[in-house]
Copies of this chain bind each other. A is one copy, B any other.
């Protein structure tokens, strides 16, 4: 990897996370969208579906990790681990809540895998209810993933943060606003094959994207992932139980400064590069071995950066893959087979868990119309804020 990463990584902890026997035995999720459901309802449905899909019962679960981002500012509901206990009366097992902005879901999966050192089976749940406030309030709440002093107080909300990244990228590598539209088009077209996606029914054409309203230059509406509600859950087990089980080969995360203003370069995410480097080493695979990747396209530019940070394209070159419509990449690699955050939706706490859900469906060969033929190794890339947190998972068959 080293050289192709295009950057000498200053400092990487080579003590990687043990992932000796971590199997995903059950998966469940809800539809994503602006839903007329409460947070506890969404949480219950995803857990129910994951348990039903598994070989286990709720009584086999030793601990639960729940990811949620905006329960406090949004629903006025913190202590969500205990709320989940209320949905499972008499269980009384340890339940943990993690929050790392939009990477909350991926980090919950990592924590769940770590808990398998101590419990036979662990349930991981990601849940988010956003559509019960005004858009202004939601936008303000989402900005809490950014630095209060350097960014929030200056009005630099997330579309603005990623727009700065996009502007820099366009200037540095000679791209255009229309190039970004191609990312959105690909993901919207893919979402038409995903019945659980936020935009399953929304057929989007390039002209619609290019003519959609301005959000923050160079972004317009279709450059942004939507404000979604939803939940996703996984049953993790240290025992291989069925041929449908998928193994987690690596789970690695890294952090960076919360504000872009404190970084030298904003056209790539150092946390993503470090997490990916560790994950490839741990899983003993190379970027070219990956068949499918669910990457964090909160905005179109973020998918472009992801392809480069993950080593799928050289720096500044990902954009040409979109222009030439050369997907699958290198004739092999499928990106965001569920439609990504732009097409499938972005219920924040659930997003990183849903990425794993999609990889499991694909590797099991159960992804129906979205099925990628012979998918053997999958990767997920989940970002918090503007690259302040990144968690990368690599999954494969036993």
Contact = CB atoms under 8 A, between A and B. Distances in A.
Contacts of A114: 114-115, 117-118
Given A98-B97, A147-B83, A76 B258 contact: no
A343 interface: no
Contacts of A253: 94
Interface residues of A, number: 70
A152 interface: yes
Given A118-B15, A144-B76, A10 B90 contact: yes
A321 interface: no
A256 interface: yes
Q: Which of A76, A94, A144, A384 has the most B CB atoms < 10 Å from its CB?
A: A94
- Determine how many copies of this chain the complex contains: 2
B81 A255 contact: yes
A123 to B, nearest CB: 13
Interface in A250-280: 252-259, 262, 270-271, 274
A78 interface: yes
A389 interface: yes
A252 B100 CA distance: 24
A146 B10 contact: no
Interface in A11-45: 11-13, 15-18
A204 to B, nearest CB: 30
Contacts of A119: 13, 15
B388 A79 contact: yes
B11 A254 contact: no
A126 interface: no
Contact of A92 (B16, B78, B93, B255): B255
Given A101-B82, A144-B76, A388-B79, A92 B62 contact: no
B144 A92 contact: no
A134 to B, nearest CB: 16
Contacts of A95: 100, 255, 389
A99 interface: yes
Given A77-B147, A82-B101, 10 more contacts: A72-B72, A72-B73, A78-B145, A81-B100, A86-B262, A93-B255, A95-B255, A114-B114, A114-B115, A114-B117
